[in-house]
Structure 1
């Protein structure tokens, strides 16, 4: 059985859990990370030298980096989420990469300041700049959803929607001045029709 190491309040862990649920994969999850078992021990660093969650253990295979893990799971079990045709797959990959780079870079400061209330994240200028950047990338997403009419990489639900859908939940759940983006709100409502998304898009897990 799959082992998933990481606390479920982590967005990156939830990507893996949601993917497993969409694919009906059985797994055992173990609590690691803040508030649970530490990730700076020799035991954990032997699995992921970066000391970060999640980690997936599948028999002899050990993987880290959440987008790599969900690609692996979909490659093995879910062609409906990760098509093999090169162009369709590239469209999924580009939005997975966008989530890990442009989107994540935009929200970090604002999220830690406004949702997590993390110490040291109280610079009003940096909060405002991060909120502006976050709304800007959400506007890019809105433009893409206008083109596809459904999901991020096309008309069908794909792996890219798991990574970006949880990021949209974070945007919705964080108390900030949200840009008026009806396409993103409608996309969020569509995702809420999926039972697995409702499991991981909790108000206490932004």
Structure 2
């Protein structure tokens, strides 16, 4: 029984469709992994994270094209040739849910199913996969932007000494509200004064990590 299952799986992974999916997934995970490792660096702040995620999102948005899809198929065929696969055509069962446009009017009929295997694979696997990735990155980007709106003026503490007090008064007030807890309320004016003093002591452009070390 185990031998039969192993042979069946071995035959399945020899399908060109499966091989193409591996090539696509490799590129996707490679980009995600590089960004993930960079985000875990102690020297990466929120502004850096926003920039990296935005560029990653743009990459996948630009990848959602016919030309990029064809380039993946070309790479898959080269790999298939090296593995000596005989069948290099897209086919087999696609497990991803079929994408449908929302109905606008009741008198319109349902979308016609994509019958061409290659086109179906592109829409139901490749485009579907990229849509999920882009939506996920967009959600993360929105969250980080929200945090950045509250903390961005602290990225370079030294610059605070040259900025008029009234410019950052609202930001300090918002920050004190975020940081306060039940046991102790932070006064935004006092926080502003303390950070202004700190801005005269730290080296310009050292970043938050080094600033925290200075405070310690």
Q: Structures share a fold, TM > 0.5?
A: no
Identify, as 1 or 2, the structure richer in strand. Answer: 1
The structure where helix makes up a greater share of residues is 2
Larger-Rg structure = 2
TM-score w.r.t. the length of structure 2 is 0.29
